[in-house]
Amino acid sequence: MNLGVLAHVGPGTPTGEWFRRYWLVVGTTRDLHDIPQAIKVLGEELVFFRDPKGQLGLLGLHCPHRSSSLEYGDIEDRGIRCPYHGWLFDVSGQCLEQPAEPKGSVFHQKVRHLSYPVKELGGLIFAYMGPDRDDPPPLPKYSPLVNHEGQRSIEQTRYYDYNWFNYIENGADPVHFSILHRSNPNDGTWRSWFFNFHDIPYFDAVETPYGMKVISRKPGPTPDTEYIDEKSFAFPSILQIGDTEFTHFKKPASALMNGSHNEHFMFLTPDDDEHFTLFTVNYYTGPDPDFFEKLAPSRQLTTKEEKKEYDRRRYAPFRGSVRLEDMMTQGTQGLIGEREEHLATSDRGVILLRKIILNAIETVQRGGRPKGVLTQDQAEKVLKIDSFTGIRNRKE
Ligand code: FES
Ligand SMILES: [Fe+2]
pTM of the model: 0.95
Question: Any alpha helices (H) in 79-186, and if so which ranges?
Answer: 143-146, 164-170, 175-179
Please give the domain boundaries of the chain with CATH numbers for all domains: 30-121 (2.102.10.10), 141-393 (3.90.380.10)
Mutate to test the pocket of ligand 1, among 47, 61, 76, 87 (most ligand atoms within 8 A of CB): 87
Tell how many helices (H) and how many strands (E) occur in the chain.
Answer: 9, 21
Please tell me the number of the ligand nearest to residue 175's CA: 2
pLDDT score for 145: 98
Q: Atom 4 (ligand 1): residue with closest C-alpha?
A: 85
pLDDT score for 305: 81
Ligand 1 center to residue 269 CA distance, Å? Answer: 29
| Closest to 262 in 3D by CA, of 391, 390, 122, 146 | 390
DSSP string, 316-327: -S-TT-HHHHHH
Please tell me the number of the ligand nearest to residue 64's CA: 1
CA distance 327 to 272: 17
Per-residue pLDDT 10s for the chain (396 aa) are: 899 999 999 999 999 999 999 999 999 999 999 999 999 999 999 999 999 999 999 999 999 999 999 999 999 999 999 999 999 999 999 999 999 999 999 999 999 999 999 999 999 999 999 999 999 999 999 999 999 999 999 999 999 999 999 999 999 999 998 888 875 555 555 556 678 788 889 999 999 999 999 999 988 889 999 988 999 999 999 999 977 676 666 666 677 777 888 999 999 999 999 999 999 999 999 988 998 888 777 667 677 788 999 999 999 999 888 889 999 999 999 999 999 999 999 999 999 999 999 999 999 999 999 999 999 999 999 999 998 888 889 875
